[in-house]
Amino acid sequence: MLEKTYNPAEVETNIYEKWEKSGAFACHPESDKDPYCIMIPPPNVTGNLHIGHALTFTIQDSLIRYQRMKGKDVLWQPGTDHAGIATQMVVERLLAKDGISRHDLGREKFIEKVWEWKAKSGGQITKQLRRLGASLDWPRERFTMDEGLCRAVRQEFVTLYKEGLVYRAKRLVNWDPKLETAISDLEVEQRETVGTMWYFNYVVENEPNRFITIATTRPETLFGDTAVAVSADDERYKDLIGKNVIIPICNRAIPIVADEHADPTKGTGAVKITPAHDFNDYEVGKRHNLPMINILDSTAHLNENTPKEYQGLTTAEAREKVLSDVKALGLYVKEEPNPMTIPYGDRSGVVIEPWLTDQWFVDAPKLAVEAIKVVEDGRMEFVPKTWEKTYFEWMRNIQPWCVSRQLWWGHQIPVWYGPDGHYFVEENVELAQAEADKYYGKHVDLVQDQDVFDTWFSSGIWPFSTLGWPDQTEELKRYYPTNVLVTAFDIIFFWVARMVMLGLHFMHDVPFKTVYIHALVRDEQGRKMSKSKGNVVDPLILADKYGVDALRFTLSAMAAQGRDVCMSESRVEGYRNFVTKIWNAARFCEMNQCVAIKGFNPKSVKEQLNKWIISKTSVAMNKVATAMDEYKFNEAAEAGYQFAWGTFCDWYLEFAKPLFNGDDESKKAETRATAAWVLDHILMMLHPIMPFVTEELWSKGNHEQMLISTPWEDLSEFVDEKAEADLDWVVGLVGAIRSLRTEMNIAPGTKIQMLLAGANDVEAKRLVQFNTLIKTLARLESAELSTKAEDAKSAAQVVYGTTAVLLPLAGFIDVAKETERLNKELEGLNKVISGLEGRLNNEAFVSKAPEKVVADQRVRLAEAKSGVIKVQEALARLKDL
């Protein structure tokens, strides 16, 4: 006997262990089934499951479970990411608590500490994935810094280098002075602020009374100025071009150059050029061969290229000092507020400095060509399609990708330098040493590049590195390209684009055929969740409180395409109730000895009621399947919910009650078997979304295998339109009677008579055939055909299709109230009629609209008209009372 209420916490752990131990999650490369593969977007190894994870992994697990049931050989590849910057920061913060910096420890010791941290907290996220029910093929779990993947990353880099797609260059990059590393454009966050524009005079060399006024938002960079640019056409400065001006404070002479960058309409039309600290100025500097003076050290303090009294100051301190010094020199003109955006590091939160350094770059523009083409020609598609525009937009404007990071945690770059700076790009030190020995003609000591790769450089090859690449494994051949990548839009650029470029380059095929982009999870008010706002919803707390199934169902039900998912606890509660409802339905079936019969043939059932529910089951299964095939998870969830609750529980089980308790043994047996069969299929169709309660209930049934491994059945052959029409009519009739009863204020327990007027042969037959069902559900003493006009005397009436439902209630009817009610009904019907007539009298509508639509409207008009007559008759009768 099932417990009175379902206790999710108790069963979830047990069921998951059972699945995992049984090997139900394992892929079978040797099988002859069609493969289906999803690569998990590897979460940060030291991360914690947040609500966004819960959504993306629920979706993936639903797809995986559905495809597994559909008979595919499924691989859901698990793994975690070393997440270079994020992880290094966490460990540095921990060390800082003891007053230690990573530099105190040294690189080797520090990395040891990170591995220790990983060993300690690295299992957290995979435990949480299990809690969520994720059916990942765990024995295949990979880590972006495990031995195989390290080898793959080295090969990736060396191959790209030898193909000329990787190069080393001294360039202006986004420099994070807190983390002391270069970061990519994508890791820079632009924040809007109101800054200040300052105007200074630069005195013209040898002409003490002449000066040029420049405008700047960064006065402190003046020590790095190497020119002042004006427009060649600017009349104000034409004669100054070629002359020098003197930088205030440091009194260095720099030339005035003509350059297109200077816009006569902005500022004063004269702009100071600081090539080493501004991306635009850098381009100007290159055009005019200007020196590039770096005035900052790696922590954004002023360096030895600035006057002594400035050295060691922060940029903010330097700015104040420059301002007061310039004012003291009498060269200050004015200042005004200036709205502007300032770059911040998305991890460190500090202001990013453009800084001139040597870095490794991947020739992304070249790799992007094919990556654009595959989406254009449909070899890869985005769902929803609208994201393709975003993808194109970015790919067509892609910049070289800086892949080196001045961090310690990550894949150290496989480049070795000789004493003279000559370098050797090889997969390991032995190969590099051999090359170096050859090159120098003797043994020399090599030093490996101190930098590591951008994390995305390793996750970019995730779809094939996890399958064994560069070895040509069976798995690689079988599961690449994968079927779908599921992710939120925020990492299309970071990750998706890189995987496509690298997948196409190394595997000569797309990494996945479909990219499904789901919504971001927001709070109830639609705000982005963030720790600082304190509106973070912890999925695990919800899971503990309401059960994982309720959480998963909520996320699926809200995962409509292209929308944000707003998480509200009341929704979770509502779906927890649904889980309970299923549980109780199963309990009810159990109480009535509804046992699944092996070899039960739905085609053999005789009762129309049973044919009806079997047909409805078939339709529901197909709805769920279609929705899953189209990534419409909300529709899949809704179809299962409506069928299980709205059809099976609300109607079928109620209909079945008298049969369960009836005397007809064969009817009883058939109904019991049917109920068990339908319940099993409800468990089946809900399993991908709510795996735990369904498996638990399945395990109590008469089954040899677990639900997770049970094939999804196509039940299309059991659709029975006749049965559906019959019972749907009964359902509608009962609804009409119930509604009328309530309006007439008849106590729910009171049994009354019902007469049906105006029924045709089919309806008359149904009334007889389903008499017991109708009486039971509508709480009637009798349900019969009306044969004579007097039946309608003192009866309350409601129109149902072309029939009239009569409840003889002599003495109970409040004439005034009933008149009002009928008039309201009449009004509604007349409104419908005038609308339909207007349409049908329109020549253009009748001739141009599809036949089916026109015919449909005619039927509705006829129904409404017969309804009007019936209501009018009822009104006339009331007058006689």
Site for RNA in 185-214 (CB under 7 A): 185-186, 190, 197, 214
User: Is residue 284 a contact residue for RNA (CB under 7 A)?
Assistant: no
* Partners of 783 in beta bridges: 754
Region binding RNA by CB under 7 A among candidate stretches 114-122, 291-299, 559-567, 667-675: 559-567
User: Is residue 850 a contact residue for RNA (CB under 7 A)?
Assistant: yes
In whole angstroms, how close is the CB of 329 to RNA at the nearest point? 19
Footprint on residues 461-520 left by RNA (CB under 7 A): 493
User: Is residue 278 a contact residue for RNA (CB under 7 A)?
Assistant: yes
d(CA 677, CA 197): 76
Closest CB to RNA among residues 481, 658? 658
Residue span 734-773 as binding mask against RNA, x where in contact by CB under 7 A, dash where not = -x--xx--xx---xxx------------------------
User: Is residue 389 a contact residue for RNA (CB under 7 A)?
Assistant: yes
Q: Which of 111, 145, 204, 262 binds RNA (CB under 7 A)?
A: 262
Tell me which residue of 358, 625, 371 sits closest to 500, measured CA to CA. Answer: 371
Closest CB to RNA among residues 415, 515? 515
Q: Which of 71, 106, 139, 562 binds RNA (CB under 7 A)?
A: 562
Is the CA virtual torsion 516, 511, 187, 341 positive or negative?
Answer: negative
Closest CB to RNA among residues 588, 643? 588
Closest CB to RNA among residues 152, 247? 247
Closest CB to RNA among residues 105, 595? 595
User: Is residue 165 a contact residue for RNA (CB under 7 A)?
Assistant: no
> How many CA atoms within 13 Å lie on the side-chain side of 545?
14
Region binding RNA by CB under 7 A among candidate stretches 34-42, 554-562, 600-608, 687-695: 554-562
68 phi, psi to nearest 5 deg: -65, -45
Closest CB to RNA among residues 485, 679? 679
Region binding RNA by CB under 7 A among candidate stretches 35-43, 59-67, 104-112, 644-652: 644-652
> How many CA atoms within 13 Å lie on the side-chain side of 585?
30
- What's the chain's Rg over C-alpha atoms? 37
580 phi, psi to nearest 5 deg: -60, -40
Location of structure tokens 């996750």 = 459
Location of structure tokens 């109620």 = 654
User: Is residue 364 a contact residue for RNA (CB under 7 A)?
Assistant: no
User: Is residue 393 a contact residue for RNA (CB under 7 A)?
Assistant: yes
In whole angstroms, how close is the CB of 660 to RNA at the nearest point? 9
497 phi, psi to nearest 5 deg: -60, -40
Amino acid, res. 677: W
Give me the DSSP letters along 222-264: GGG--EEEE-TT-TTTGGGTT-EEE-TTT--EEEEEE-TT--T
Q: Which of 115, 211, 417, 845 binds RNA (CB under 7 A)?
A: 845
Collect all residues with Cβ–Cβ distance below 8 Å to 430 and sequence separation of at least 6.
none
d(CA 512, CA 481): 5
Cis peptide before 470 (omega within 30 of 0): yes
Helix/strand/coil percent split, the chain, to 5: 50, 20, 30
Footprint on residues 117-156 left by RNA (CB under 7 A): none
Tell me which residue of 223, 197, 199, 231 sits closest to 212, measured CA to CA. Answer: 199
Q: Which of 48, 514, 561, 866 binds RNA (CB under 7 A)?
A: 561
Is 615 in contact with 674 (CB distance < 8 Å)? no
* Partners of 190 in beta bridges: 343
Region binding RNA by CB under 7 A among candidate stretches 112-120, 533-541, 587-595, 612-620: 587-595
SS (H, E, C) 114-136: HHHHHHHHCCHHHHHHHHHCCCC
What does the block give as tokens for 819?
Answer: 């008149």
In whole angstroms, how close is the CB of 720 to RNA at the nearest point? 21
> How many CA atoms within 13 Å lie on the side-chain side of 828?
11
User: Is residue 458 a contact residue for RNA (CB under 7 A)?
Assistant: no
CA 105 remoteness from chain centre: 40
* Partners of 804 in beta bridges: 757, 799
Location of structure tokens 């020609």 = 377
User: Is residue 576 a contact residue for RNA (CB under 7 A)?
Assistant: yes
User: Is residue 258 a contact residue for RNA (CB under 7 A)?
Assistant: no
What does the block give as tokens for 563?
Answer: 């929308």
Collect all residues with Cβ–Cβ distance below 8 Å to 781 and sequence separation of at least 6.
751, 752, 753, 775
Footprint on residues 395-414 left by RNA (CB under 7 A): 397
Region binding RNA by CB under 7 A among candidate stretches 165-173, 290-298, 553-561, 805-813: 553-561
In whole angstroms, how close is the CB of 422 to RNA at the nearest point? 34
User: Is residue 783 a contact residue for RNA (CB under 7 A)?
Assistant: no
What does the block give as tokens for 816?
Answer: 């005034």
What does the block give as tokens for 109?
Answer: 């010791």
Footprint on residues 709-738 left by RNA (CB under 7 A): 735, 738
- What's 4's DSSP letter? S
Region binding RNA by CB under 7 A among candidate stretches 99-107, 277-285, 697-705, 752-760: 277-285
Residue span 791-830 as binding mask against RNA, x where in contact by CB under 7 A, dash where not = ----------------------------------------
Closest CB to RNA among residues 222, 621? 222
d(CA 272, CA 285): 11
Number of residues that bind RNA (CB under 7 A): 91
d(CA 267, CA 270): 7
User: Is residue 574 a contact residue for RNA (CB under 7 A)?
Assistant: yes
Q: Which of 280, 298, 699, 769 binds RNA (CB under 7 A)?
A: 280
- The 3-state DSSP class for residue 603 equals helix
User: Is residue 218 a contact residue for RNA (CB under 7 A)?
Assistant: yes
In whole angstroms, how close is the CB of 372 to RNA at the nearest point? 15
6 phi, psi to nearest 5 deg: -75, 130
Region binding RNA by CB under 7 A among candidate stretches 38-46, 262-270, 410-418, 612-620: 262-270
User: Is residue 860 a contact residue for RNA (CB under 7 A)?
Assistant: yes
Q: Which of 31, 341, 716, 760 binds RNA (CB under 7 A)?
A: 341
What does the block give as tokens for 519?
Answer: 């919504």
Helices (H), 427-493: 429-440, 455-459, 462-465, 474-479
User: Is residue 287 a contact residue for RNA (CB under 7 A)?
Assistant: no
User: Is residue 429 a contact residue for RNA (CB under 7 A)?
Assistant: no
* Partners of 584 in beta bridges: none
In whole angstroms, how close is the CB of 318 to RNA at the nearest point? 16
Q: Which of 80, 268, 674, 694 binds RNA (CB under 7 A)?
A: 268
Region binding RNA by CB under 7 A among candidate stretches 307-315, 407-415, 556-564, 814-822: 556-564
User: Is residue 271 a contact residue for RNA (CB under 7 A)?
Assistant: yes
Closest CB to RNA among residues 279, 439? 279
Closest CB to RNA among residues 473, 634? 634
In whole angstroms, how close is the CB of 49 to RNA at the nearest point? 22
